[in-house]
Amino acid sequence: MHSQPTHEPGAPPTPPAPPDLYTVGQVATLARVTVRTLHHYDRIGLLSPSRRSENGYRLYDYADLEQLRQIRLLRELRFSLEAIEQMLSAPAYDRHSALIAQRELLRERQERTDSIIRGVDRALTALEEETKMDATEMFEGLEEFDHAQYEDEVKERWGDTDAYRESMRRTRRYGKNDWARIKAEGEGVFARLAELMAEGAEAAGRAAMDLAEEHRCHIDRWFYPCSHKMHRCLAEMYTADPRFTEYFEKRAGGLAVFVQDAILANEARARNRQ
């Protein structure tokens, strides 16, 4: 296996970094990325080194390494660089809560992978023993994100609206990876809201309202222009529709009301700022 290059081809060697600081080449080796990747992150403002040497060389400190680790984790979870930048720069972003949410997403992926492996093992056994698999187990772990589950009902309610037409226009372009990213991003917000609720935070507190705003922007970015008024209407369904309530309550008791209250508080905050 070839090691990652620690400096650009033809570039002069980078001088040693001071204690507790790392050169771009050292960071590339530690993080198992290329120097070119780190230069790109710096160029787009995703990860800029905290220091520069007298000669202008990039120098990274421990906080920079932590930020890079977050970026690598989110990339592993298939988030785009644009989505990562928005998450890391969000006022409500909290590293501890984010790590908890990321761990849950990775566990879900692991559980699904384990389920697929069990299915492959059963298929191998059936092939070797010349038997048939149980039809109810043939597709275990291969479920796709069913974004059209309520499509008929949605069309009946909002089919004549601009929001519905825009949502249909956007989502027709999305593939499986896009839907996986959308699901992970949205559930990441709800996981952090659940963490706030578990800590005893107020739904009308700044942290919860900032996460509610992040959720509104998530809808606005992926589906349709979502005003604060539109977001409030969605929030009201979270407790009025048993299916929405069940979605939240499976994650944490009382979460549906907490999320709804955070969204309503965020909408009120936006009105007061006008």
Which residue, 33, 61, 76, sits at the end of a domain? 76
Better pLDDT: 83 or 72: 72
Instruction: Look at residue 113 and tell me if it is in a domain.
Output: no
Q: Is residue 257 predicted with pLDDT exceeding 70?
A: yes
Q: What is the CATH number of the domain that holds 163?
A: 1.10.490.50
Same domain, 69 and 153: no
Better pLDDT: 92 or 90: 90
Instruction: Look at residue 60 and tell me if it is in a domain.
Output: yes
- As for how many domains the chain has, the answer is 2
Instruction: Look at residue 133 and tell me if it is in a domain.
Output: no
Same domain, 158 and 248: yes
Helix/strand/coil (H, E, C) string of 144-164? CCCCCCCHHHHHHHHCCCHHH
Segment 169-227, tens digit of pLDDT = 777 788 777 888 888 888 889 989 988 898 889 999 999 999 999 999 998 888 888 88
Report the phi/psi class of residue 200: left, alpha or beta, with left for phi > 0 and alpha for psi in -120 to 50: left
Which residue, 54, 76, 98, sits at the end of a domain? 76
Domain extent for 42:
22-76
Q: Is residue 152 predicted with pLDDT exceeding 70?
A: no
Are 51 and 21 a contacting pair, CB within 8 Å? yes
Same domain, 66 and 162: no
> Which residue carries 């048993």 as its tokens?
242
Instruction: Look at residue 92 and tell me if it is in a domain.
Output: no
Q: Report the chain's mean pLDDT, rounded to a whole number.
A: 79
Same domain, 153 and 70: no
This model's pTM is above 0.75: no
The strand pairing partners of 257, in sequence order, are none
Segment 18-34, tens digit of pLDDT = 568 999 999 999 988 89
Which residue, 76, 97, 113, sits at the end of a domain? 76
Structure tokens, 115: 């389920």
pLDDT of amino acid 129: 83
Q: Which residues contact 15 (CB under 8 A, 6 or more apart)?
A: 23, 53, 55, 57
Q: Is residue 150 predicted with pLDDT exceeding 50?
A: no
Burial of 261: CB neighbours in 10 Å, binned 0-12, 13-18, 19+: buried
Q: Which residues contact 109 (CB under 8 A, 6 or more apart)?
A: 77
The strand pairing partners of 59, in sequence order, are 23, 51
Instruction: Look at residue 135 and tell me if it is in a domain.
Output: no
Instruction: Look at residue 40 and tell me if it is in a domain.
Output: yes
Closest CA to 103 of 176, 200, 195: 195
Same domain, 69 and 161: no
Are 35 and 5 a contacting pair, CB within 8 Å? yes
Q: Which residues contact 157 (CB under 8 A, 6 or more apart)?
A: none
DSSP sequence for the chain? -PPPPSS-TTPPPPPPPPTT-EEHHHHHHHHT--HHHHHHHHHTTSS--SEE-TT--EEE-HHHHHHHHHHHHHHHTT--HHHHHHHHHSTT--HHHHHHHHHHHHHHHHHHHHHHHHHHHHHHHHHHHT----GGGTTTT-----TTTTHHHHHHHHTTSHHHHHHHHHHTT--HHHHHHHHHHHHHHHHHHHHHHHTT--TTSHHHHHHHHHHHHHHHHHTS---HHHHHHHHHHHHHSHHHHHHHHTTSTTHHHHHHHHHHHHHHHHHHH-
Q: What is the CATH number of the domain that holds 50?
A: 1.10.1660.10
Same domain, 153 and 258: yes
Question: What is the arrangement of strands in the sheet containing 51-52, beginning at the earlier edge strand?
Answer: 22-23, 58-60, 51-52
Instruction: Look at residue 233 and tell me if it is in a domain.
Output: yes
- The model's confidence at residue 156, banded by pLDDT at 50, 70 and 90, is very low
Same domain, 164 and 263: yes
Q: Residue 170 carries which side chain, given as an amino acid letter? A: R
What is the biggest distance separating any 2 CA atoms in the chain, rounded to whole angstroms? 71
